[in-house]
């Protein structure tokens, strides 16, 4: 018989993720990061006797309007490699969420899985005499596509697989005096660059406290580094890297357009890739591509090679139909006003 239990055991939690290809977004540390931002989180293990079959970290996200919330499962649940009763596990998770829904004023449960869920999992879920409608949603909070570079090769082989222009720009950047430094401490200069990049490229960055707190959750298995390119002592480009489960991810990036001719982002990515190899990572994730939304950034990332990875659609399980309809109306109004 399956049971669902909350856990606070960091080592046990991460050990399960490390053995079963879990994402950093389900790590114990990421949950602590979300808590530091004022969010509620739940960590549940689904067990059969003493055997852990799945783990799921759930985050409560609050809507800025309506006073309502949603439950969010990023890149989860994490299932044991061996065959497991996934339909039963999902049903158990939804049942646990449903018990919290009224108290937490939750409209829906959004699941963004790493792997495709079976057709049986994509049917409405019935618990007792209550049916919870399920909607496949193409809009994810995390990137729908990303670019993965295989690091299980020699350094020169990876370099030679870059586009010619990238290799040229890396050498040019070095020749012009750009220097890359890395470390596991936050710098206020990064936020200056981030604000400038957001204004230039038309997106909203997080408050500075978000980036600062990200550096405060590090552990033996979850590392955060700032890789920064300097020219004559000035930071002109920088990326925040996360290392977890033999994977490096370039999570946030910024650059100063006034120094575009120095090609610092090319050199910066190359130094980050080499750093990832020194961390014994097998893969480097450029974290998000989209030919329509970010054509220039997507082209830049693709010049380094790598394989495109497309994640499954988000799955929305409606917990409160009335408030969900209100939420959909508000979304349409916002889109119309843009």
Residue 31: CATH number of its domain: 3.40.630.30
pLDDT at 293 over 80: yes
Q: What pLDDT sits at residue 126? A: 62
pLDDT at 118 over 60: no
**Of 81-95, 133-147, 207-221, where does the model show the most confidence?**
207-221
> Contact at 8 Å (CB) between 97 and 113?
no
Is the Cα dihedral 101, 77, 124, 88 positive or negative?
negative
Q: What is the mean pLDDT of residues 154-170?
A: 97
Query: 178 and 128 in one domain?
Result: no
Burial class (CB in 10 A: 0-12, 13-18, 19+), 74: buried
CB-CB neighbours of 127 under 10 Å: 13
Q: Tell me the DSSP string of 154-220.
A: -HHHHHHTS-HHHHHHHHHHHHTT-EEEEESS--HHHHHHHHHHHHHHT-PPPPHHHHHHHTT---S
pLDDT at 25 over 80: yes
Q: Which residue did the predictor score with more confidence, 82 or 70?
A: 70
pLDDT at 154 over 90: yes
Distance CA 65, CA 48 (A): 40
Which helix (H) or strand (E) segment is 62 a member of?
strand 51-62
Q: What is the mean pLDDT of residues 216-223?
A: 95
Model confidence at 137, in pLDDT bands (50, 70, 90)?
confident
Q: What pLDDT sits at residue 127? A: 60
Its domain, for residue 121, covers 2-140+312-337
pLDDT at 328 over 90: no
Query: 170 and 88 in one domain?
Result: no
| Paired sense of beta strands 247-255 and 283-285, if any | parallel
CB-CB neighbours of 145 under 10 Å: 14
Query: 37 and 182 in one domain?
Result: no
Query: 205 and 96 in one domain?
Result: no
Q: Show the tokens assigned to 323.
A: 């408030």
Q: What is the mean pLDDT of residues 224-241?
A: 98
Q: What pLDDT sits at residue 37? A: 96
pLDDT at 44 over 90: yes
Query: 123 and 7 in one domain?
Result: yes
Query: 72 and 41 in one domain?
Result: yes
| Paired sense of beta strands 106-112 and 69-74, if any | parallel
Q: What pLDDT sits at residue 313? A: 85
Dihedrals phi, psi of 100, to nearest 5 degrees: -90, -15
Instruction: Provide, rounded to the nearest whole percent, the portion of the chain with pLDDT above 90.
Output: 72
Max distance between CA atoms of the chain, in angstroms, equals: 70
Dihedrals phi, psi of 101, to nearest 5 degrees: -60, -45
Give the global pTM.
0.92
pLDDT at 226 over 80: yes
The CA distances from residue 161 to 233, 247, 264, 279, 288, in Å, are 31, 20, 19, 21, 20
Place of tokens 């004022």: 38
Q: What pLDDT sits at residue 283? A: 98
Burial class (CB in 10 A: 0-12, 13-18, 19+), 51: exposed
Phi-psi region of 245 (alpha: psi -120 to 50; beta: other; left: phi over 0): left
Query: 130 and 169 in one domain?
Result: no
Query: 98 and 191 in one domain?
Result: no
Query: 300 and 166 in one domain?
Result: yes
Query: 34 and 7 in one domain?
Result: yes
pLDDT of 74-108, one tens digit each?
999 999 988 678 888 888 898 899 889 889 999 99
Q: Helices (DSSP H) in the chain: which residue ranges? A: 10-19, 28-36, 86-104, 155-160, 164-175, 188-201, 208-214, 264-278, 295-302, 321-337
Closest of 137, 131, 17, 23 to residue 70, by C-alpha? 137
pLDDT at 20 over 70: yes
Query: 151 and 105 in one domain?
Result: no
Distance CA 112, CA 119 (A): 15
Q: What pLDDT sits at residue 125? A: 64
Q: What pLDDT sits at residue 327? A: 79
Q: What pLDDT sits at residue 63? A: 80
Query: 209 and 125 in one domain?
Result: no
Instruction: Give the angle 255-27-154 at the CA atoms, nearest 5°.
Output: 60
Q: Which residue did the predictor score with more confidence, 301 or 67?
A: 301
Distance CA 130, CA 145 (A): 35
Instruction: Provide, rounded to the nearest whole percent, the portion of the chain with pLDDT above 70.
Output: 93
Instruction: State how many domains the chain has.
Output: 2
């Amino acid at each position: 018989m399956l049971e669902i239990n909350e856990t606070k055991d960091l080592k046990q939690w991460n050990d399960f993720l490390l053995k079963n290809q879990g994402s950093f977004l389900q790590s114990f540390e990421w949950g602590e990061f979300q808590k530091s931002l004022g969010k509620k989180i739940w960590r549940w293990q689904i067990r059969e006797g003493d055997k852990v079959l799945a783990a799921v970290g759930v985050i409560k996200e609050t809507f800025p309007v309506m006073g309502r919330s949603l439950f969010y499962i990023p890149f989860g649940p994490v299932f044991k490699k061996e065959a497991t009763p996934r339909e039963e596990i999902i049903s158990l998770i939804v049942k646990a969420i449903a018990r919290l829904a009224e108290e937490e004023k939750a409209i829906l449960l959004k699941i963004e899985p790493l792997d495709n869920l079976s057709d049986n999992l994509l049917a409405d879920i019935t618990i007792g005499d209550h049916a919870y409608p399920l909607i496949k949603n193409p809009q994810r909070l995390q990137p729908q596509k990303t670019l993965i570079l295989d690091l299980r090769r020699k350094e020169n082989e990876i370099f030679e697989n870059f586009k010619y222009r990238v290799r040229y720009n890396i050498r040019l950047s070095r020749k012009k005096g750009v220097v890359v430094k890395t470390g596991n401490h936050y710098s206020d200069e990064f936020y200056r660059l981030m604000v400038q990049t957001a204004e230039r490229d038309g997106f909203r960055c997080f408050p500075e406290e978000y980036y600062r707190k990200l550096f405060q959750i590090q552990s033996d298995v979850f590392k955060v580094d700032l890789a920064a390119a300097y020219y004559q002592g000035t930071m002109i480009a920088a990326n925040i890297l996360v290392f977890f489960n033999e994977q490096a991810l370039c999570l946030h990036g910024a650059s100063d357009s006034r120094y575009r001719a120095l090609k610092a982002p090319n050199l910066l990515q190359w130094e980050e890739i080499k750093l990832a190899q020194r961390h014994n990572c097998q893969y480097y994730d450029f974290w998000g591509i989209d030919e329509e939304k970010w054509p220039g950034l997507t082209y830049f990332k693709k010049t380094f090679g790598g394989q495109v990875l497309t994640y499954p659609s988000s799955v929305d399980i409606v917990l409160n139909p009335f408030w969900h309809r209100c939420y959909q109306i508000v979304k349409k109004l916002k889109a119309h006003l843009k």
